[in-house]
Each structure stands twice: as structure tokens, then as C-alpha cells.
Amino acid sequence: EAGVAQSPRYKIIEKRQSVAFWCNPISGHATLYWYQQILGQGPKLLIQFQNNGVVDDSQLPKDRFSAERLKGVDSTLKIQPAKLEDSAVYLCASSLVFQASSYEQYFGPGTRLTVT
């Protein structure tokens, strides 16, 4: 079974530029999550999708971050414009079951973003 795929793995941009990250979840997984992991901290949820609908985006800085999940499969996370404090690893995860807190989330390798 293929795992969660993410690209690119690394990205370096200047502040005020735009960047987009892509995630392909495990086949059949209805729920998709985007996390931000700042160096020295645990991952923090940015947004959660159920199929192609948003169920939690309370922690997403909506003035600069946006995300979509077209057709309930792949997802993209965009930052426009980027700030220095956006430097972090962006992790995508997926899980099989909706609204089941005990079910495992499977994580991708992440995209390491550096904003200079």
C-alpha cells in the first residue's frame, strides 16, 4: 500500500513570494489533514478535510493561507504572501474513518519550507 505522498520535499523562497504544496493521501482515505511543524515544536493542525469539504480550519491563517481538496483526493496548500515565520515543515496526513478519534493518521514525509 502506497503511503501519503507530498511534494516538493524542500522549498526555499523569499518573503512575500508565493508557494504551494501538494499532497496525495492513501487511496480510500476520506479524511485529510495539513499540519505545520515549526522547529522545536510539535505539529499543529492547520486544516482538516472530509472528502472535499472543510471540517476544521480554525487554526489556518486565512489572510495568507489557503487549501483545497478537489474531488476529495489530492490536496494543495498555498501560502501567499509568505512571511519569515512560515518557515516550517508542512505535514500532510490522512485517515480512513471520519469522526473517529481513535483511528490512526498516516503522515507523509513533509515539505520543509525556508523563507528568507
Partner 1 sequence: AQSVTQLGSHVSVSEGALVLLRCNYSSSVPPYLFWYVQYPNQGLQLLLKYTSAATLVKGINGFEAEFKKSETSFHLTKPSAHMSDAAEYFCAVSDPRGSTLGRLYFGRGTQLTVWP
Question: What is the contact surface with partner 1 in residues (CB under 8 A)?
Answer: 4, 9, 31, 40-45, 48, 50, 55-56, 91, 93, 95, 98-105, 107-110
Nearer to partner 1, 27 or 102 (CB): 102
CB of 107 to partner 1, least distance (A): 3
In the bound state with partner 1, the residue whose beta carbon lies nearer, of 15 and 38, is 38
Q: How many other β-carbons are positioned within 10 Å of the β-carbon of residue 7?
A: 14
Q: How far is the CB of 111 from partner 1 (least distance, A)?
A: 11
Cβ neighbours, 10 Å, residue 26: 17
**Cβ contact 80:86 at 8 Å:** no
Minimum distance of partner 1 from residue 81's CB (angstroms): 27
C-alpha–C-alpha distance, residues 38 and 89, integer Å: 6
Q: Is the peptide bond before 81 cis (omega within 30 degrees of 0)?
A: yes
Q: Which is nearer to partner 1, 24 or 43 (CB)?
A: 43
Cβ distance to partner 1 smaller for residue 27 or 40: 40
**3-state DSSP call for residue 51?**
coil
